[in-house]
Structure 1
């Protein structure tokens, strides 16, 4: 199973036509991507649901990642959600959440397990309330020991959001902040957007002018922790220094949305969710949606597969919505043609595809075969609006296409 997972990831990530040095970087990323990458997905599900216009007959396919969004889509009332992921750690996390929703007795237990994710009692909750109902493969993942010899389920007693590739990357960023005497908590203490901007300009912006930071961020491997493979690094940087690109993305995160409404900012600056009663949380974790999650959880499935192959296996005209995250930034033109050919075949009339890109423009014009692209209508104004309002702030563009 491990060898198969490694092969699936390498097939998706390693560029076949790349130079030797680039292939080695791709293989290094594929190795890093084998474990838990995202304890929380970094795409805003609220803008996703607005763009997707999910209805009661909607059959939706998405990339799972941390499964936060896949579960949150249930609040919009679709007929079916299938979350597909190459990474078996992400699949195990999704299955853990689904099983917890089904079998934990109340919202308080669920909230302590997945929102706080650091209570000692979570170990006992897992053993008695979740594990007996969890599928064998996911249970094997969570009960296996990590490189430090600790069972992976202990992440939920020691702070899940400090774990995984992204969690470690954010932790390293916090360490650098301390070395440069930057107090990241000041962003979270700001009470207005004006105060947030003042803190950013005073505390955060200057670090991107440091020689070491500019050098470090120019190395593709330095952004593996953000889940950015070498191929996407080139799209993200464009003709600019990476430090400047990252500064702008952090500025949007810190300044464009009120802290009280942005759980992505809490993850970045506090390494976890706010614990106040009015804390911003993903829709699936909100108290108001608990009963809805319980009622609709049987409408979601999480599958360990390559999304291109999975889509190709679906019946013709059987799906309505596709959420591709930023996976296309990893693809060459032939792979895009293959993916969109399968999407077009599997789409019902009026189907929509939503995806994100590291750079601002949609990558499809000039890359996707015109014979395929001509069947789709780009919703340009709505895409620009969704991009502007995406609270995660780390992508250049959110793009929405509709079957013409």
Structure 2
């Protein structure tokens, strides 16, 4: 089954060099040989590789906000692909994912091919739920490799500096790899320097026990001199996929250590562990045991439905503005921007929202997240564009409180007025 064919043939094809230029264009704001310019360049280079093995936006919150209906056309930024696949549960006609990162494109195409071609749920769960079994390499060779496009196949079979093929990460705990996986591992290492094992949070049997562990073991770490110094550096959060300009929005007028403490507290204590797989990822570096929570696309009860609908999903290496510019007017029902707008200049925001507005069907909805609590669009996007959209403030605040990933300052929902 050819999962890689898309309708986006009018998009620029490009190769690795073209992808690198797009990332640089998305991130760069300052002269290269300046302190800020060098930081932006370094971030873009890091972001060229695999960053997110799992997306860090809550798909249940997305689905509640989007209210996807049968026949809808959804456009989303891909990231780790968990949410794009989960949207298929609502029976849309099409889910088109885009990403500037070529590693994320290869990652998503592998996931689509695995869902379509692995023999059963158990083999799919072993591949992405456990992601730590040599049997996954045999499954790749037998079932997935033949369904991949050449570019994605080359990506996964290329050898890293360690001499291992990239696909081998699925036999060595996928979730310890990628920029974010290594960052979480570094965080665990720093905690252990101070005698704290973050994995112990997962032993809690109630919200009270979760709060107690956070208060007594984790919260004091943010007062340590090393932690405060490190988190005060803009480059310290590159491992979270946070570029320099988003760091500034996240910190606001306070110290980054205090902001991170607040976000980690909600992640650790805001929801029961039995419901929050994001906490399992942060503190256990994986999805846990058999009864631990999973994202919707990995749930046994959803497997057959998603397998049946996987041909409706596609992913291309492009910006979301490029993708929309190639679409007819009034052709898109739902748009998911993740936190990408935190990176954008005013010019880029206006170009994006002109295309969103042009392609929006009656009743269209757009969702996005921001590092800071505030909606970043007013005062930056032209009023003649923004006036055609209704900001659902109360719904946005309520949905933000439900977001189990807990790392963003705000969730935002806009509905198209027409």
Tell me, in whole angstroms, the C-alpha distance in 2 between the residues paired with 1:233 and 1:185.
27
Describe the shift of the 1:216–1:369 C-alpha distance in structure 2 as closer, same or farther (beyond 3 A): same
For the pair 1:371 / 2:396, whether they are aligned, the reply is no
Tell me, in whole angstroms, the C-alpha distance in 2 between the residues paired with 1:390 and 1:18.
37
Contact in 1 for aligned 2:51/2:241 (Cα 8 Å)? yes
For the pair 1:191 / 2:205, whether they are aligned, the reply is yes
Describe the shift of the 1:331–1:19 C-alpha distance in structure 2 as closer, same or farther (beyond 3 A): farther
2:224 equivalent in structure 1: 210
Q: 1:16 deviation in Å?
A: 5.1
1:226-245 paired onto structure 2 within 5 Å: 226-245=240-259
Instruction: State which of 180, 200, 215 in structure 1 corresponds to 2:194.
Output: 180
For the pair 1:3 / 2:17, whether they are aligned, the reply is yes
SS at match of 1:61: strand
1:153 equivalent in structure 2: 167
2:12 equivalent in structure 1: none
Instruction: State which of 6, 27, 30 in structure 1 corresponds to 2:41.
Output: 27
For the pair 1:260 / 2:274, whether they are aligned, the reply is yes
4+ runs of 1 displaced by more than 2 Å?
A: 16-20
Tell me, in whole angstroms, the C-alpha distance in 1 between the residues paired with 2:394 and 2:108.
33
2:316 equivalent in structure 1: 303
Per-residue deviation, residues 216-246 of structure 1 (Å, max 9, x unmatched) = 0010111000000001000000000000000
Give RMSD over aligned pairs: 1.1
1:143 equivalent in structure 2: 157
> How many pairs align?
403
1:73 equivalent in structure 2: 87
Tell me, in whole angstroms, the C-alpha distance in 1 between the residues paired with 2:215 and 2:32.
40
Q: 1:19 deviation in Å?
A: 8.5
1:362 equivalent in structure 2: 375
Q: 1:17 deviation in Å?
A: 7.5
1:102-141 paired onto structure 2 within 5 Å: 102-141=116-155
Tell me, in whole angstroms, the C-alpha distance in 2 between the residues paired with 1:13 and 1:321.
25
SS at match of 1:349: strand
Q: 1:294 deviation in Å?
A: 1.0
1:29-48 paired onto structure 2 within 5 Å: 29-48=43-62
SS at match of 1:261: coil
For the pair 1:87 / 2:101, whether they are aligned, the reply is yes
SS at match of 2:76: strand
Q: 1:310 deviation in Å?
A: 1.2
Q: Which runs of 5+ in 2 are unaligned?
A: 1-14
Q: Which runs of 5+ in 1 are unaligned?
A: none
Per-residue deviation, residues 350-396 of structure 1 (Å, max 9, x unmatched) = 11110000000110111111111111000111100110000000000
2:307 equivalent in structure 1: 294
- TM (normalized to structure 2)? 0.95
For the pair 1:275 / 2:258, whether they are aligned, the reply is no
Tell me, in whole angstroms, the C-alpha distance in 1 between the residues paired with 2:150 and 2:52.
22
Tell me, in whole angstroms, the C-alpha distance in 2 between the residues paired with 1:338 and 1:202.
48
Q: 1:147 deviation in Å?
A: 2.1
2:346 equivalent in structure 1: 333
Q: 1:185 deviation in Å?
A: 1.9
Per-residue deviation, residues 17-36 of structure 1 (Å, max 9, x unmatched) = 79822111111100000000
SS at match of 2:412: strand
Per-residue deviation, residues 243-282 of structure 1 (Å, max 9, x unmatched) = 0000000000001100111000000001100122x22101
